[in-house]
């Protein structure tokens, strides 16, 4: 996801949920989704050489591909599933109601 501007990228979240090893630029909500070299790879925007280096790294290292993909899926299933979203919304609305 080589963007120079991004919110919380759904396409990245979908790819991570499907165990795809991801490379994304360090913009918007990307750092909330990817921890570099744990569940994806991050590079600074407007740095095509670094992007090319990371693509080459992934293509040449199957173990890294698998590790990043598995960790990304775990993160998406644990942090961004409907049960977690519902819990966060319940807490949020509960606080709003208490403050009224």
The domain of 19 spans: 10-98
Asked if residue 83 is part of any domain, the answer here is yes
Asked if residue 22 is part of any domain, the answer here is yes
Which sign, positive or negative, has the C-alpha torsion 74, 76, 79, 83? negative
Contacts 24+ apart (CB under 8 A), 5-11: 6/30, 8/32, 8/33, 9/33
- Rounded (5°) CA angle 61-62-66: 125
The pTM assigned to this predicted structure is 0.79
Asked if residue 4 is part of any domain, the answer here is no
Asked if residue 2 is part of any domain, the answer here is no
pLDDT at res. 15:
96
CATH of the domain at 72: 3.40.50.2000
Domain count, the chain: 1
Asked if residue 61 is part of any domain, the answer here is yes
pLDDT at res. 72:
98
Asked if residue 36 is part of any domain, the answer here is yes
Asked if residue 69 is part of any domain, the answer here is yes
pLDDT in tens, the chain (100 residues): 655 655 778 899 999 999 999 999 999 999 999 999 999 999 999 999 999 999 999 999 999 999 999 999 999 999 888 888 888 889 999 998 998 7
CB 9 within 8 A of CB 24: yes
Asked if residue 1 is part of any domain, the answer here is no
């Amino acid at each position: 996801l080589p963007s120079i501007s991004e919110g919380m990228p759904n396409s990245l979240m979908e790819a991570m949920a499907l165990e795809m090893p991801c490379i994304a630029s360090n913009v918007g909500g990307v750092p909330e989704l990817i921890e570099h070299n744990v569940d994806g790879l991050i590079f600074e925007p407007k740095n095509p050489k670094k992007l090319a280096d990371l693509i080459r790294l992934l293509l040449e290292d199957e173990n890294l591909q698998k590790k990043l993909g598995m960790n990304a899926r775990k993160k998406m299933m644990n942090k961004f599933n409907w049960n977690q979203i519902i819990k966060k919304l319940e807490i949020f609305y509960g606080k709003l109601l208490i403050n009224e």
